Amino acid sequence: MMHAVMSETEETKYGRFLDIGLFARFFTYAKPYKGWIAIALLLLPISTLAQMAQPLIIKQAVDQHLIPSDLAGFDLLALYFAGLVGLQFFISYLQSVINSLLGQRVVRDIRRDLFNKLTTMDAQYFATNSSGRLTNRLTNDTEAVSNMVSSGLINLVSDMLLLIGIAISMVILSPKLSLIALACMPIILVCTILITRHMRLVQRKSRVLQAKMAGHLTEQVEGHEVLRLFNCQDKSRSDFDEMNSAYFQTVLKSNFLEAFQFSFIEASSVVVVALLFFYGAGLTPEDGVTVGVMVAFIDYLRRIFFPIRDLSGKFTTMQAAMTALERIFDLLDTPPTILTPKKTETPSSYNGHIKFNNLHFDYGKGAILKGVNCEIKSGERVAVVGPTGSGKTSLIKLLNRTYDPVQGSIEINNLPVNRYPLPRLRRMVGMVQQETFLFAGSILENIRLNDSSISRQEVIEAAKKSGAAILIEKLPLQYDAILSERGSNLSAGERQLIGITRMFAFQPEILVMDEATSSVDTISEGLIQTALEQLQKDRTAIIIAHRLSTILKSDRILVLANGEIKESGSHTELLNKDGLYAKLYALQFNSKTQDKVA
């Protein structure tokens, strides 16, 4: 059983720590909130100064008040210290709030543009990109960018500013003691980077395994009926347990590394403090080292190790965000191949006349249609039949510009389809497919597809014409009844009736029926055929069918084979020709007769 696994290069790679081009483009999204960014940046030096001043107050309290036992003015120093702690708390809170607001607002805008972009993409793009991968752009990738803004980018600047400020304060306070602390920093930083690099490799592996588990889970949920029918649950559980265990071991290793890094930083701070005491014990007040200076240094060391420990996490956050931005902008920069022309035209009349001119088409894997020429008159009912893979559905996909032909053209109302505005063309060509896709929501909105130009009364009239009103009006909430995902609380026939009702509501000039009754039971088929007969009145209709019994009343039948129209004529004419259609007809009806005899 195959499992959906995201590729290393697309879903799990880490980008460069800092990509100026990506950053510049990202800031176009942050630009509308530059006021908030300015406030966040202005708060950084205030927060840094508040933290740098606290050890100095402690030094003064120790040297001037606690050691000489002179408490005059001590309460004022305590008040200053409390004020600085309160200021730091207030600024940290403001920074967190502003960072979160920035992150969520920027990501909201990116997510909106991504979704808008996806709605403009053509069928070819969705055919070559899995739904899971595209969903990942709007969820995980945007979340990575949000993390960069809310806990990475500005906080990274804050940490760097704090490190520089503390280093300067330590040098000013005691150059000799600062040598001990600053000499140890490169070693600690190098070790931290090495641990982080190894942790990043482990986290990358965990992302791959997580993607495999997600793909496996999606397959099992969507294919639950097959699993039950073929009794594959044990194998499915075994596969999942194997992946789950591998993921568990990888995450556990990542947690061990993270714990080791934390312990290493804590141990390093203890060692540095010990070295500080060892070296400072030999210094005197004449060397500028007092008890207060030692206490202040220890406090500075405590503060300097926090950002060092956090830098590794922010490093990973920034890298993940760079990769996410690269994928996001790659999607935003992908142009749709099917576009509304810059200069559109309007036909002289909308009569549903269709003409296929020397039509050639392929999906990049060999020719599907080879020079198809055909004319369908206004109001004509034409059936298209042929073996599987002959190009029947492809012909329809070209009609409404789901794809564009490689060569040739299609005209509707004597105007090439690529000169129509896309919304007008697709409103003009209505499709009843083999299976109607329904969305989670009310029946009303499923029929009019949230098109406010179609009133509730028009939906009700459409349901009466299709016969769906009988079904809908039996429900407690009638047209406001809520359908579950994909309309799973309706039968296949009921879903198909809702799809036909859509056509009555939208009133297209051209109706296309692609195996519209092939997936429903015999009882439902009768109701649906009646609705389709009503729907076909006074409009051009194209009927794609494998079951030839459904097209006997067609004005004309086109027989496609190997991408070419081999025969054309009425049912009787084609039978008299004794060609491909006659063979298909005999094959189907002889098979049915034998089944009945058996």
**CATH class assigned to 16-174+314-334:** mainly alpha
The answer to whether the CB of 579 falls within 8 A of the CB of 419 is: no
- Closest CA relative to residue 568, chosen from 408, 385, 390, 332: 385
The answer to whether the CB of 370 falls within 8 A of the CB of 544 is: no
Per-residue pLDDT tens digits for 54-83: 888 888 888 888 888 777 778 888 898 899
The answer to whether the CB of 468 falls within 8 A of the CB of 408 is: no
Per-residue pLDDT tens digits for 43-61: 888 888 888 888 888 888 8
Answer whether 16-174+314-334 and 354-597 agree in fold: no
Q: How many CB atoms lie within 10 A of CB 120?
A: 14
Q: How confident is the model at residue 4 (pLDDT cuts 50, 70, 90)?
A: very low
**pTM, rounded to two decimals:** 0.72
354-597 has CATH 3.40.50.10490 classification: no
- Closest CA relative to residue 307, chosen from 405, 395, 192: 192
pLDDT for 521 equals: 55
Where do the domains of the chain lie? 16-174+314-334, 176-288, 354-597
- Tell me how far apart the alpha carbons of residues 367 and 299 are, in angstroms, rounded to a whole number: 75
- Tell me how far apart the alpha carbons of residues 291 and 177 are, in angstroms, rounded to a whole number: 12
The answer to whether the CB of 580 falls within 8 A of the CB of 387 is: no
Phi, psi angles (nearest 5°) of residue 401: 60, 35
**Which residues are CB-contacts of 439 (< 8 A; sequence separation ≥ 6)?**
445, 446, 483, 485, 487
Burial (CB < 10 A; 0-12, 13-18, 19+), residue 369, is: buried
CA distances, 175 to each of 119, 167, 290, 544, 581 (Å): 63, 10, 13, 87, 98
Per-residue pLDDT tens digits for 268-324: 778 887 887 777 777 667 767 788 888 888 888 778 777 777 766 677 677 667 777
Q: What is the CA radius of gyration of the chain?
A: 35
Does the pLDDT value for residue 585 go beyond 70? yes
Q: How confident is the model at residue 3 (pLDDT cuts 50, 70, 90)?
A: very low
The answer to whether the CB of 328 falls within 8 A of the CB of 29 is: no
